[in-house]
Each structure stands twice: as structure tokens, then as C-alpha cells.
């Protein structure tokens, strides 16, 4: 399992005892990314066994309370738990200023550094994070305030070298990494072995996209095309289409239309309005368009294998 | 029932799924006072049926995260719920500045006014609030940062007029309020009826004191003497006496000693360190000194009748 998503909150606007505000932790190859951080996120981290000290990168989609009010508590608890490693926060510059004010007011001992990366809102994918195996990009959504979606991708993986054949041909260890990357192999006698005879296809690279909060945004389809897992807000059902439009939110059907157009693997909907005590109608509405739709709920785990 | 206390959170430092951070709602004669507002307070208001729109006065003991991180969410939700009436917040001036920054960053529509009252830390009871039936005072505690305790008192109540006797003597309605306040009655024929022949003792006036966070503070005893209900922090047991001292907190035994010295009616302890999964040892320790001790837990209701 190379990618898993733990939902820590799936309510819009205000948290309830059953549905906290938006927060989720994505594990990509043991890199733990916190995406949004509504009030109570640290409580649900504890409830669902998320070790907050393993989180090194936090992405905040926009500066509405239901997407960041849990962050001061997380920063404070990380401090109390003795964190010393750098923490990266990707957010609007306004939130940076507000968190600085918080930390100053707390007079909180901060045994770790926070490194802020201000989001931009260019009409394209913008690289936020990259290491040897994973990239994270932002892309603009359309909501009442500047808002970003996020795209998490494993980099293409190495091809599978046929070990028996490699040993038979006595391919030196020093050449094998290049072959896994796609090189052909030229033996000492000059014989060229095309890569395709030496290797098999690599494992799939998994990907995840987060889109909340936003209107139905067709222009985002190319940015998220083919992701294994898409989280898309579905604040309302079509019964509240006008309200969705007025508040710059989406319906479950619209979320499913985006998933269908982008040919994603699975769709997870969330960010439900409190008016929906029973979520089945939202699920039914989305599945009519995109059958591989699932409901977020607090504690739910979605895995891509 | 003239006074009741609903515990919304009783954890110290960080909230847990079972114990949110410090917050409580005191109902005195249908005036609803919010005392501290740790993260998740609005969630537990919803869980335990507290209508946040009935809260008009909020008292924040000190500017540590576990006592105020739920406040931005409460202010935001009050706005979304359409509050229009004034809200009074009694707090350190630093918190006032921080909340201003919050509201500015939110770009939150605020259909109601917030009126701030900065706490002072004089070595005495300081009147914060008064109406025809209730007073609230602050008094200084001793902690790592400036901290106040709060004292809520019903004013002395009217004496009970003997209605039958009043009718028999044909005491005019216009005189009766004065008699309930203690006046004698002089009849048209000049006969004086002493108040004690016309009235019985008034109902008791209830009172509540809140003391968290603080070291054991003997000098506070006269300020809270005789209250019906005292909430006192008991972050630790005597097994962690040194830690309590180092962190400017109290043990359960020390809380009970304050209750005993102040001759209070009942003691509620709370603000437990997360190291105490089982609270019985803290309760036992306090009851050895002051038998009328009770444990706070989230949702608990304490009534004074």
C-alpha cells in the first residue's frame, strides 16, 4: 500500500460531534501530509491513531475557519510533544501572519522552526514540494476567497529488472540502476540487450487530488486527470443547487461529473452541510453519475494499493 | 434551581477524545456565562445541548491555548447562526488583539458587536459584571502568565412576605416591594409592624467560584469563602507534587485544602493531566481532605438548588 487517506473531519462551516471540520492526513510512501486542519483535528488524530510528530508538511486550502482553526492547537501540541524538526506550512500569506500573531501571544516555546510557503493562484499546476519519490502541486479552485486544490503524486517508479537474466548475463551491479531507469545494456562482447528484454513494467505510481472548497470547476479536469483518488467537496445535493451556486460550493452530482470527466479511480465526497443528517441521498446522487463514489466520514481510511 | 454548571472540557494542555480542554457554561438565573473556551468547546455545546446564542458574557482566565483556542470557532459560529446581540468578552488585552486579528483575517461578517473588558490583576475582588440579580468578580490567581479566577454570586434575594397577613392588614401593593426588601410597615392608624412579623427569611443566594490555572493560593480563601460550588484545578496528584510546583499547578489534595479552608459547599476538580487515565486516585486524594469533592468530566452537570 503506497497511499492512504485518513479523514479527520468532513463537515462544512461548523464542526459537530459526529463530523469535525475539514482535515485529513495523506500517507504517501510514509510521508505524512496534513491537508486542512479544522477545529478538533488534533482530537481526531489522537482518536484515530495519527502521530502528529510524523507530519512535516501542512497544506491549507484557504483561510476559512472550518479549514484552519485546529492549526494553532496542532502547533502548540507539537511543541509540547517536543518536536524539533522543521515544519513546512503551505498557505495564504494572511494565515502566516495570523499564526505568527498566535505564537507571539502564546509566548509558546517553539523548539522547532516553521517554514512558510505562500500559495500562489496561477492558472496552472504549481510545484510546492518534491523529493526523490513524491511531488505535490497546487492548483487554483474557485471559491469566495483565494483557494487551492492539491495534487499528490508518486514519481514514476523503477522498472522491474529480471534478476535471473541479469545474473546469467553477469550484468555489473553498477549498471543495474540505470537499466531499472530504462537504459539498454551493452555486454563486454558488444551485444546490445534492449531494455524491454531485461525489464518488466514498473509498479503504478499512485496519485491523489484534493478539491475543497470550490464550485464545479471544469478547467481543473486536466490537472487531476487519471488520479487514483479524488476528494471533492459535496456540500449540498442537487436539492440545494441554487444555494451551492450562491455559496460557491458544489453538489454531489457536480463532484461526480468532475470525477467522471477526469477519469479518476475513486471519488470521495465530503464537506457536507449540516442540513444532511443522512448522507445516503448525496451518495446516491453522485453514484448515478460516477459509481465509484464513497462517503467521507470521520475516521474513514481510503487506500490505494 | 438557580445555578448550574455544565462542564464542556476538563483536560489540561491538550484535548483528548474523552476530555476536551477547559470550557464550562454556568447558568445563573438564566444568565449563561461561558468560562474559558478550549478547543472543541462548540462541539461539546452541541453535544450537550448548550445554545451558544444564549451566551452573552465570556470569561477567559488566561491566554494559554487550552483555555481559549475554541473561542474563534465560537465567534464564527455565532455569526453564522445570525447572532445580532452584543457579546461581552472579559480577557487579557493580548487576547483581545489576537481575536481582532482573527476576525480581520477571516473577513468574517460580524452581525454583532464584541465588547471587550480587559482583566486587571489587583490583589482583590474586582467587579466585572452586575445586573439586578447577579454579580461577577475576578480575582488574581498565580500561574505562569497573568491569570484570573472568577466569582459568580446571586445578589441577596427578597424576603418572603406573608401574603395572607398582608391581605388581612390591607397593605397596599406599592408598599410590598419595600417590605420584601426589609422595611417595616406603618398602618394608616399609626401601628408599626416590624418587618420580622411580616416576612420570612429569603431564599439562599447561590454562588460559584472558578479557580484554574493556579498554584495552591491560600490568599484567595477569603475571596471565595462560603461559595456553594468551587471548581479548582487538580492537574496532578500528590504523586506529582514537584511537577505541580514546577508548572504552577495544583494537586487534588491542595484543591481540597483550599475548599476546606474556604468552607465551600462542594468542590469540583478538573484540568487533569493526560497522565491520569483513571481519575479515581485524584478523587480519593481530595476526598480524604474534603469529602464533598466531585470529578469534572465532559458533559457533567452540577446544580445548586
DSSP string, B30-59: TEEEEEEE-TTHHHHHHHTT--GGGEEEEE
Assess B106–A contact: CB distance below 8 Å, yes or no. yes
Residue B108 has pLDDT above 80, yes or no: no
Q: Which residues from B are below 8 Å from A43, CB to CB? A: 15-17, 20, 39-40
**Residue B50 scores a pLDDT above 90:** yes
Give yes or no: B239 in active site. no
Considering only the beta carbons, identify the residue of B65, B98, B145 that sits closest to A73. B65
Burial class (CB in 10 A: 0-12, 13-18, 19+), B74: buried
For strand A293-295 and strand A266-270, is the pairing parallel, antiparallel, or unpaired?
parallel
Average pLDDT, chain B: 96
Chain A residues in contact with B47 (beta carbon < 8 A): 17
List, for residues A251-276, the tens digit of each pLDDT value: 999 999 999 999 999 999 999 999 99
Mean pLDDT of B288-302: 98
How confident is the model over A170-215, as pLDDT tens digits?
999 999 999 999 999 999 999 999 999 999 999 889 999 999 999 9
Out of A66, A213, A228, A298, the active site residue is A66
Residues 19-38 of A with CB under 8 A from B: 20
Q: pLDDT digit string (tens) for B154-187?
A: 999 999 999 999 999 999 999 999 999 999 999 9
pLDDT band at A109 (very low <50, low <70, confident <90, very high): confident
Assess contact for A152 and A230: CB atoms under 8 A. no
pLDDT in tens, A138-159: 999 999 999 999 999 999 999 9
Domains by residue range for chain A, with CATH: 3-157+203-304 (3.60.15.10), 160-200 (no CATH)
What pLDDT score was predicted for residue B245? Answer: 97
B94 pLDDT higher than 90: yes
Assess whether pLDDT exceeds 80 at residue A1.
Answer: no
Task: Pick the residue of B9, B18, B39, B274 with the most A CBs within 10 A to test the interface with A by mutation.
Answer: B39
Q: In this complex, is the C-beta atom of B110 within 8 Å of any C-beta atom belonging to chain A?
A: no
pLDDT of residue B2: 82
Chain B residue numbers touching A15 (CB-CB < 8 A): 40, 42-43, 73
% of chain A surpassing 70 pLDDT: 99
ipTM: 0.92
B70 touches chain A (CB under 8 A): yes
Lowest mean pLDDT among B44-58, B156-170, B282-296: B156-170
User: Within 10 Å of residue B107's Cβ, how many Cβ atoms?
Assistant: 11
- Output the pLDDT for position A112: 96
How confident is the model at residue A197, as a pLDDT? 95
Task: Flag whether pLDDT at A216 surpasses 90.
Answer: yes
Contacts of residue A98 in chain B, CB cutoff 8 Å? 101-102, 105
The arithmetic mean of pLDDT across residues B133-153, rounded, is 97
The three grid cell numbers given for residue B103, joined into one nine-digit string? 476576525
* CB atoms A73 and B14 under 8 Å: yes
* Average confidence (pLDDT) over A49-65: 97
Has residue B107 got a pLDDT over 80?
no
A53 grid coordinates: 510528530
Average pLDDT on B199-228 reads 96
Instruction: Check if B202 contacts A (Cβ < 8 Å).
Output: no
Mean pLDDT value across chain A: 96
| Rounded Cα–Cα distance for residues A95 and A101 (Å) | 10
CA atoms of A121 and A230, how far apart (whole Å): 20
Q: Is B79 on the interface with A (CB under 8 A)?
A: no
Choosing from B36, B66, B213, B228, the catalytic residue is: B66
The pLDDT value recorded for residue B232 is 98
Amino acid at each position: 500500500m503506497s497511499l492512504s487517506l485518513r479523514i479527520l473531519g468532513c463537515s462544512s462551516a461548523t464542526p459537530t460531534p459526529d463530523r469535525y471540520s475539514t482535515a485529513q492526513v495523506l500517507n504517501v510512501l510514509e510521508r505524512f501530509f496534513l491537508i486542512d486542519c479544522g477545529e478538533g483535528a488534533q482530537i481526531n488524530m489522537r482518536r484515530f491513531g495519527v502521530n502528529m510528530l510524523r507530519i512535516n508538511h501542512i497544506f491549507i486550502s484557504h483561510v476559512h475557519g472550518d479549514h484552519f482553526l485546529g492549526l494553532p492547537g496542532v502547533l502548540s501540541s507539537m511543541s509540547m510533544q517536543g518536536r524539533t524538526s522543521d515544519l513546512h506550512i503551505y498557505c495564504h500569506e494572511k494565515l502566516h501572519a495570523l499564526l505568527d500573531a498566535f505564537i507571539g501571544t502564546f509566548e509558546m516555546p517553539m523548539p522547532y522552526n516553521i517554514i512558510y510557503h505562500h500559495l500562489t493562484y496561477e492558472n496552472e499546476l504549481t510545484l510546492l514540494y518534491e523529493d526523490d519519490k513524491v511531488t505535490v502541486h497546487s492548483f487554483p479552485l474557485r471559491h469566495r476567497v483565494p483557494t487551492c486544490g492539491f495534487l499528490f503524486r508518486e514519481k514514476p517508479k523503477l522498472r522491474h529488472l529480471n534478476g535471473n537474466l541479469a545474473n546469467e548475463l553477469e550484468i555489473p551491479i553498477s549498471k543495474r540502476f540505470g537499466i531499472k531507469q530504462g537504459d539498454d545494456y551493452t555486454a563486454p562482447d558488444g551485444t546490445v540487450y534492449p531494455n524491454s528484454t531485461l525489464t518488466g513494467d514498473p509498479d503504478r505510481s499512485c496519485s491523489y487530488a484534493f478539491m475543497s472548497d470550490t464550485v464545479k470547476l471544469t478547467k481543473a479536469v486536466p490537472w487531476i486527470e487519471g488520479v487514483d483518488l479524488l476528494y471533492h467537496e459535496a456540500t449540498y445535493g442537487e436539492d440545494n443547487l441554487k444555494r451551492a451556486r450562491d455559496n460557491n460550493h458544489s453538489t454531489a452530482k457536480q463532484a461526480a461529473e468532475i470525477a467522471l470527466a477526469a477519469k479518476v479511480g475513486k471519488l470521495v465526497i465530503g464537506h457536507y452541510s449540516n442540513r444532511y443528517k443522512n448522507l445516503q441521498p448525496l451518495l446516491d446522487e453522485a453514484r448515478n453519475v460516477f459509481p465509484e463514489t464513497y462517503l467521507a466520514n470521520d475516521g474513514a481510511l481510503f487506500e490505494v494499493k
